[in-house]
Amino acid sequence: MLRLAVTTRAETYERIQEPLADRSIAVDHVTTAERTLTPETDLGAFDVGFVFPPRLAEGGVADAVLGVPWVNGREAVLRSRYKGETLARLSRAGVPTPETAVVSDPVDESALREAFQRFDPPVVVKPNSATRGIGVTKVSDLDSFLGVCDYLDLVHDYRATGDRSFLVQEYLESARDYRAMVVDGECVGAVERRLPDVEHAARSTAGGGGPRADSNAPEGRWKHNVHRGAEATGVDLPDELRDLAESAAAALGIPWLGVDLLVTGDRAVVNETNARPTIDSAEKYETGFWDDVAALVRSRA
């Protein structure tokens, strides 16, 4: 039986154990963070790792000790970790993305004004590498934008802060928010992320695919992160959105990838990607999903 080392113990770990065991892949957790590691540390004997550890420094030690190939190794994780790099690579490859400016703090106020004035407000300000919607802010006017940047200056003034960059991005009004899962180049399912009141409104409106994502959202709510209270519902993506997700994965060269799509009436863009995507409940993916995951693991052994 193939042995798979999983470096996180969140939802994905719990969900993959039984389905992969049924396919002759034994899943076990390997702790790489909040512990001591030496070159002699016994982390167990494994054939494949899934996915390169989130803390890259400790992950490098664990990688050396384990000596296994990874489903998404260090380079794949890095290509998806920093949003500015991801969007630049996708855009240069012809994959549509939101208009975005990366600010390498500190910069003078004139540069910040120029960044803001590239867009029709409001704009979205977000950290370059955070997840779960942490620190993402929508700003409607220049003075508020400069105030947000002042706060970032205070945070970035701490010498140990490594990444001092942040993104300024166009805000897509009433965009629907999808997370597509791509396994070894093929889109194998997707969820739409909606705020709870939006889903209720969808049931009470006349037919079709429901309202646009922000049209009935609770006042002041616009983020669709599941960790912020949004709900993920399995959906069948149209072919053009499946193709878009697959194009993003191909451009980045990442075999196991969550691709976040924002869709308005006239545009569809890749907003972010995640090389460490959480696996949802299996019914939200297509038939054969676990076979695809098992095949990907075996292909790396």
Do residues 224 and 128 share a domain? no
Q: Could you give the CA distance from residue 192 to residue 224 in angstroms, rounded to a whole number? A: 9
Task: Give me 174's structure tokens.
Answer: 């009433």
Sign of CA dihedral 211, 214, 220, 225: positive
Q: Could you give the CA distance from residue 78 to residue 70 in angstroms, rounded to a whole number? A: 14
Average pLDDT over residues 214-222: 51
Do residues 222 and 259 share a domain? yes
284 located within any domain:
yes
94 located within any domain:
no
Q: Which DSSP helix (H) or strand (E) runs through 237?
A: none
Q: Could you give the CA distance from residue 195 to residue 214 in angstroms, rounded to a whole number? A: 8
Domain count, the chain: 3
Average pLDDT over residues 210-216: 44
- Over residues 241-265, the pLDDT tens digits come to 999 999 999 999 999 999 999 999 9
Three-class SS state of 149: helix
Q: Could you give the CA distance from residue 19 to residue 163 in angstroms, rounded to a whole number? A: 38
Do residues 63 and 143 share a domain? no
Q: Which of 114-123, 173-182, 222-231 has the lowest mean pLDDT?
A: 222-231
pLDDT above 70: residue 151: yes
pLDDT above 60: residue 296: yes
Do residues 32 and 123 share a domain? no
Work out the burial of residue 54: count CB atoms within 10 Å of its CB; fewer than 13 is exposed, 13-18 middle, 19 or more buried. middle
Query: Quick check: 258 and 72 in contact, CB under 8 A?
Result: no
Mean pLDDT estimate for the chain: 87
What residue numbers bound the domain in which 153 lies?
Answer: 99-170
87 located within any domain:
no
Which of 37, 34, 86 is CA-nearest to residue 60? 37
**CATH code of the domain containing 35:** 3.40.50.20
From 140, 170, 200, the end of a domain falls on 170
Predicted local confidence at residue 216, as pLDDT: 53
| Residues 100-125 as b or e (16 or more Cβ within 10 Å = b) | bbbbebeeeeeebeebbeebeebbbb
Q: Could you give the CA distance from residue 179 to residue 277 in angstroms, rounded to a whole number? A: 9
Query: Quick check: 195 and 239 in contact, CB under 8 A?
Result: no
Work out the burial of residue 187: count CB atoms within 10 Å of its CB; fewer than 13 is exposed, 13-18 middle, 19 or more buried. buried
Q: Could you give the CA distance from residue 80 to residue 185 in angstroms, rounded to a whole number? A: 15
Work out the burial of residue 265: count CB atoms within 10 Å of its CB; fewer than 13 is exposed, 13-18 middle, 19 or more buried. exposed
From 47, 78, 109, the end of a domain falls on 78
Helix residue ranges, H only, the chain:
11-21, 56-66, 74-81, 83-92, 109-116, 142-156, 196-204, 239-252, 289-300
